[in-house]
Amino acid sequence: MNINKSKKTIFLLSIFLFCKSLFFPKTAYLEEFTSEAPVLLDRVVAVVNKEVITWSELYKVMEFEATDQVKNLSEEEKAKIFKENEPFFLETLIDMRLQLQEARNLGIGISHEEVDEAIENIKKKYSMSDEDFIASVKKEGFTLEEYKKRLAEQILINKVVQYEIRNKIVVSDAEVKKYIDTNEDIFTGGEKYRLRQIFFKRPENDIETKSIEEKAQLVIERLRAGETFSELARVYSDDPSGKVGGDLGIIEKSHLAVEFINALSKMKPSDYSMPFWTERGLHIIRLDEKISPQNIDDLKEDVRKKLADTKFIESYKNWVKGLREKAFIEIRL
């Protein structure tokens, strides 16, 4: 499958970090986002209770989630891939619509201020200026208002999920102890690194190889001149992480290729490497943080979070299943 089913990091997943409060009175902002208002039907692809999902909504989601590789295909090839993936994305839209309806039923709302705060936090987290943020929104095919609507819906879903599921999950000390006792290998975890990278895909011929090496050297010169690694990653990196400033998150040393380990052995936090090749391509990495092995208290907290996440996933699936069972759903693809 060539469509990226994971949410774009900047625009969807990160907002869950910024929701502070649970209940807001119903506001005009919430009313703007309900689907009870008259809808111009381009083509109805599903009915969810009394609300419709149109083809244009479905297409917009698929266009947003498509990888750059898919977006660069001919219209005919892209249409074929979209057609193959319609059922998956329609089911996702139906689940989202059911959760938004449940939020309204429970009187959970969203304010303009909360959406604006989430946007400010996203820009701060990814070191984005106002211009960078608006450019990223436009690149994904949205106006700012369309993006705010999508963001508001995601925050609202997070609120209802927090209220209905996450707040009710409890992991006991006994469960944590049992997990540690039966998984003794988790004590063997070694060093971890928080990394960023600028990646150039391995070319097909020697001429392109030289061009890529020259481009990587230009990046090094710009870094030496004081430009930020995250900004250069957005401009140059061929890896999806480039969209979030090259952020690779935290990676265990044991999971890294030997070329990465060799480069990191000479680095301290805030250092960047010289370009180096792996079988995938040419890399420049930045060491944001070096993390030592965990002590027992930190380990217990990580295990507690892991068990809570496992319980959450199962509870969430059952909750959505329950919403579906009591809903009227008609699919018209």
Do residues 30 and 108 touch, judged by C-beta distance below 8 A?
Answer: no
Can you tell me the distance from the alpha carbon of 89 to that of 152, in angstroms, rounded to the nearest whole number? 19
Q: Any idea how long the chain is? A: 333
**pLDDT at residue 292, rounded to an integer:** 77
Distance between CA atoms of 275 and 160, rounded to whole angstroms? Answer: 46
Q: Are 191 and 293 in contact (CB under 8 A)?
A: yes
Residue 311, in any domain of the structure: no
Which pLDDT score is estimated for 188? 53
Residue 28 belongs to some domain of the structure: yes
Short-list 50, 62, 68, CA closest to 91: 62
Same domain assignment for residues 141 and 210? no
In this prediction, residue 205 carries a pLDDT of 82
- Do 129 and 20 belong together in one domain? yes
pLDDT attached to residue 139: 83
**Would you say residue 265 lies in a domain?**
yes
Is 259 domain-assigned? yes
Is the separation of the CB atoms in 307 and 171 below 8 Å? yes
- CB atoms under 10 Å from CB of 27, counted, come to 14
Q: pLDDT value at position 32?
A: 45
Residues 106 and 156 in one domain: yes
Q: How many domains does the chain have?
A: 2
Q: Of 164, 182, 200, at which residue does a domain stop?
A: 164
CATH number assigned to the domain comprising residue 243: 3.10.50.40
8 A C-beta contact, residue 311 and residue 171: yes
pLDDT (tens place) for every residue of the chain, 333 residues total:
444 433 333 333 333 333 333 323 333 344 444 444 444 448 999 999 999 999 999 998 888 888 778 888 898 998 899 999 999 999 999 999 999 999 999 999 999 999 999 999 999 988 999 999 999 998 878 899 999 999 999 999 999 999 999 999 999 999 999 998 888 766 656 788 999 999 999 988 878 899 999 999 999 999 999 999 999 999 999 999 999 999 999 998 889 999 999 999 999 999 999 999 999 999 999 999 998 776 778 889 989 999 999 999 999 999 999 999 999 999 998
Residue 297 inside a domain? The answer is no
* Shared domain check, 69 and 145: yes
Nearest to 104 by CA among 215, 4, 29: 29
Examine the domain organization and report whether 120 and 199 are in the same domain. no
Residue whose pair of structure tokens reads 């011929």 in the numeric block = 205
Task: Please check whether residue 172 lies inside any domain of the structure.
Answer: no
C-alpha–C-alpha distance, residues 231 and 132, integer Å: 10
State the residue for tokens 């499958």.
Answer: 1
Output the furthest CA–CA distance in the chain (Å, rounded): 63
- Cα–Cα distance, 110 to 22 (Å, whole number): 9
**For residue 238, is it within any domain?**
yes
Task: Judge if 196 and 102 occupy the same domain.
Answer: no
**Judgement on whether residues 131 and 215 belong to the same structural domain of the protein:** no
Cα–Cα distance for residue pair 199/285, rounded to 1 Å: 8
CB-based contact 285:272 (threshold 8 Å): yes
Q: Which CATH number is 131's domain given?
A: 1.10.4030.10
Assigned domain for 157 exists = yes
Q: What is the C-alpha separation between 142 and 30, in angstroms, rounded?
A: 20
Q: Are residues 243 and 130 in the same domain?
A: no
Question: For residues 160 and 167, what is the distance between their CA atoms, to the nearest angstrom?
Answer: 10
What integer pLDDT is reported at residue 8 of this predicted model? 38
103 and 213 within one domain? no
Give yes or no: residues 154 and 195 share one domain. no
pTM over 0.85: no
Residues 6+ apart with CB under 8 A from 278: 257, 259, 260
Q: Are residues 24 and 86 in the same domain?
A: yes
How many Cβ atoms are within 10 Å of 333's Cβ, its own excluded? Answer: 11
Q: If DSSP states are collapsed to H, E and C, what string results for the chain?
A: CCECCCCCCCCCHHHHHCCCCCCCCCCHHHHHCCCCCCCCCCCEEEEECCEEEEHHHHHHHHHHHECHHHHCCCHHHHHHHHHHHHHHHHHHHHHHHHHHHHHHHCCCCCCHHHHHHHHHHHHHHCCCCHHHHHHHHHHCCCCHHHHHHHHHHHHHHHHHHHHHCHHHCCCCHHHHHHHHHHCHHHHHCCCEEEEEEEEEECCCCHHHHHHHHHHHHHHHHHHHCCCCHHHHHHHHCCCHHHHHCCEEEEEEHHHCCHHHHHHHCCCCCCCECCCEECCCEEEEEEEEEEECCCCHHHHHHHHHHHHHHHHHHHHHHHHHHHHHHCCCEEECC
Looking at residue 13, its pLDDT comes to 35
Q: Are residues 133 and 208 in the same domain?
A: no
Q: Which domain holds residue 216?
A: 190-291
